[in-house]
Amino acid sequence: MNPGSITPLAGRDHPSFPVESLRAQFPALRLAGSFAFLDNAAGAQVPQVVMDSVNRHLLEHNVQRGGRYAISVAVDAMIARARAHVAAFINAGRSEEIAFGMNATSFIRQVSLAVAETLAVRDEIIVTDLDHEANVATWLQLERMGGKIRWWPMREDGCLHTDDLRPLLNARTRLVACTLASNALGSIVDVRSAAQLAHASGAELFVDAVHYGPHGVIDVRALDCDYLVCSGYKIFAPHMGFLWGRHELLARLPTFREDFIPDEPPGKLEAGTFIYENVAGMAAAIDYLAGLGRMLSGRRAVPGADSVREDCRTAMTAVKAYEQTLSLALLRMLKERGAEIYGVQEEHRVGERVPTVCFNLPGIAPAEVATAAAAAGIGIRDGHMYCPRLMRRLGLPVESGAVRVSLSHYNTVAEVDRLGAVLSQLRAG
Ligand SMILES: Cc1ncc(COP(=O)(O)O)c(C=O)c1O
């Protein structure tokens, strides 16, 4: 089956995407019975292979790395394999460009503190009002260290346009920090164009790929960015984060490390001990996605980074196409119920978004909507989505914000329809 042939069809499950057999690989979906997980932007479920990998690590290899005994050597091998897997997943040139840690926020903080030490003549940082606060507040802190903040504003359509970035860039721009996809509105950002503009003025581009991670191919070389962060728990793995950076940039970055740690990536970015079992889980999540790629392509499993990369690319291309079906179904359902949708909503622009939609129902508080959904066994979220500035931009009170439905490749149009029935009832009073 050619994943490129999967085109969005609204109104029913896609015949060429194996959603039911994928759902069967997620024990939590089975265990939860009829409960619908429509809050995946806050964290996704994990397939059995991920649990097995975490368990196996704790059972067989729960020791510190760097020892001379076999169990410790196995931990080093697991970490090396996980690095190679993550590098393949995002098409990094070298596995040493991947650092493991606690979460995305702590990596953004770490890089921003390092950048603060290198401000000098280039002292301007560009941030956006679409981003998760983790990729805004961290950079705003640099104002205390001599940094000057400039804002790349979202337009009325809920998107960042690179035409608006162009005039902000100049010989003083040190770095642009932006998301690859909005965790609130679902809009995808043209990061490649942003990188080209940033580079043309001698600046760097830092990308927050946390929200985009489970929805499409990430290719750091095609994006041409300089740094990128992701969180495992959004991509079907346990809680952990990883940072990618261009090797020469990571090598120059001043970071905290003990004297005996060489000033080289990835060790210079990994102070302390990270959670090895969760890193084992991250590698298994990539195995799961690669397996999906092979299921779709019919290719055989071949060892090596090239096949992991190809298989994941196949999987994520198909996921993206299937999720467009979900986006269309969700947008139609919400429009039929008179919802005010924030961000990209025209059907012909569905390729510019992931299936994460923020909306409000006229005259009904967001909390009331999420509570009614919860009572019907559907998990969605209300509030500011960690984007308080975005809520203000949308003219919404930060305390109540909006309702968010965030779908994943294991969701179905039937689940969207169930939510539709709840919203209809709410509107009927
Ligand atoms: C777009 C985006 N960026 C950053 C974060 C923060 O990630 P973490 O929880 O790994 O620090 C999130 C979390 O929801 C997110 O959605």
Contacts of 377 (CB under 8 A, 6+ apart): 33, 34, 35, 36
What's the token pair of residue 48?
């059995």
Q: How many CB atoms lie within 10 A of CB 401?
A: 23
Q: What is the rounded average pLDDT of the residues 280-284?
A: 98
Query: What's the gap in Å between 85 CA and the centre of ligand 1?
Result: 21
Q: Is the CB of 134 under 6 A from ligand 1?
A: yes
Q: Is the CB of 185 under 6 A from ligand 1?
A: no
* pLDDT tens-digit series, residues 385-420: 999 999 999 999 999 999 999 999 999 999 999 999
* pLDDT tens-digit series, residues 67-105: 999 999 999 999 999 999 999 999 999 999 999 999 999
Query: What's the gap in Å between 105 CA and the centre of ligand 1?
Result: 6
Are the beta carbons of 341 and 357 closer than 8 angstroms? yes
Instruction: Give the CATH superfamily of 3-46+318-428.
Output: Aspartate Aminotransferase, domain 1 (3.90.1150.10)
Q: Which residues partner with 124 through β-bridges?
A: 148, 173
The candidate with the shortest Cα–Cα distance to 239, out of 208, 275, 283, 196, is 275
Using a 10 angstrom Cβ sphere, with 0-12 exposed, 13-18 middle and 19 or more buried, the burial of residue 245 is: buried
Q: Is the CB of 215 under 6 A from ligand 1?
A: no
User: What is the DSSP code (8-state) at residue 361?
Assistant: B
Query: What's the gap in Å between 419 CA and the centre of ligand 1?
Result: 25
At 406, phi and psi to the nearest 5? Answer: -130, 115
Query: What's the gap in Å between 134 CA and the centre of ligand 1?
Result: 7
Q: Is the CB of 132 under 6 A from ligand 1?
A: yes
Instruction: Look at residue 15 in the predicted model and tell me its pLDDT.
Output: 64
Amino acid at 382: D
Q: Is the CB of 211 under 6 A from ligand 1?
A: yes
Q: What is the dihedral of CA 389, 390, 391, 393, to 10 degrees?
A: 90
* pLDDT tens-digit series, residues 285-340: 999 999 999 999 999 999 899 999 999 999 999 999 999 999 999 999 999 999 99
Q: Please report which confidence band the pLDDT of residue 429 belongs to, taking 50, 70 and 90 as the band edges.
A: confident
Query: What's the gap in Å between 98 CA and the centre of ligand 1?
Result: 18
Are the beta carbons of 383 and 358 closer than 8 angstroms? no
Q: Is the CB of 177 under 6 A from ligand 1?
A: no
Are the beta carbons of 179 and 135 closer than 8 angstroms? yes
Question: Which residue is closest in CA terms to ligand 1's atom 14?
Answer: 42
| Fold equal for 3-46+318-428 and 54-284 | no
Q: Is the CB of 210 under 6 A from ligand 1?
A: yes
Q: Pocket of ligand 1, candidates 40, 102, 105: which has the most ligand atoms within 8 Å of its Cβ, to mutate?
A: 105
Q: Is the CB of 207 under 6 A from ligand 1?
A: no
Q: What is the rounded average pLDDT of the residues 347-351?
A: 97
Give the H or E element holding residue 357.
Answer: strand 356-360
Domain 54-284, CATH number (from 3.90.1300.10, 3.40.640.10, 3.40.630.30, 3.60.21.10): 3.40.640.10
Q: Which residues of 377-392 are buried (b: 16+ CB within 10 A; e: fewer)?
A: ebbbbbbbbbbbbbbe
Ordered by start, the domain boundaries in the chain are 3-46+318-428, 54-284
Q: Pocket of ligand 1, candidates 100, 231, 385, 408: which has the most ligand atoms within 8 Å of its Cβ, to mutate?
A: 231
Q: From the alpha carbon of 106, which atom of ligand 1 is closest?
A: 11
* pLDDT tens-digit series, residues 143-168: 999 999 999 999 999 999 999 999 99
Query: Measured between alpha carbons, how far is 44 from 355 in angstroms, rounded to an integer?
Result: 14
* pLDDT at residue 284 greater than cutoff 90: yes
The candidate with the shortest Cα–Cα distance to 225, out of 182, 179, 191, 174, is 191
Full DSSP string of 188-248: BP-HHHHHHHHHHTT-EEEEE-TTTTTTS---HHHHT-SEEEEEGGGTTS-S-EEEEE-HH
Q: Is the CB of 309 under 6 A from ligand 1?
A: no
Q: Strand 241-245 relative to strand 204-208: parallel, antiparallel, unpaired?
A: unpaired
Query: Measured between alpha carbons, how far is 41 from 234 in angstroms, rounded to an integer?
Result: 7
Query: What's the gap in Å between 47 CA and the centre of ligand 1?
Result: 21
Query: What's the gap in Å between 12 CA and the centre of ligand 1?
Result: 31
What's the token pair of residue 237?
């793995």
Query: What's the gap in Å between 338 CA and the centre of ligand 1?
Result: 30
Distances (CA, A) of 330 to 47, 347, 354, 356, 360: 25, 11, 11, 9, 13
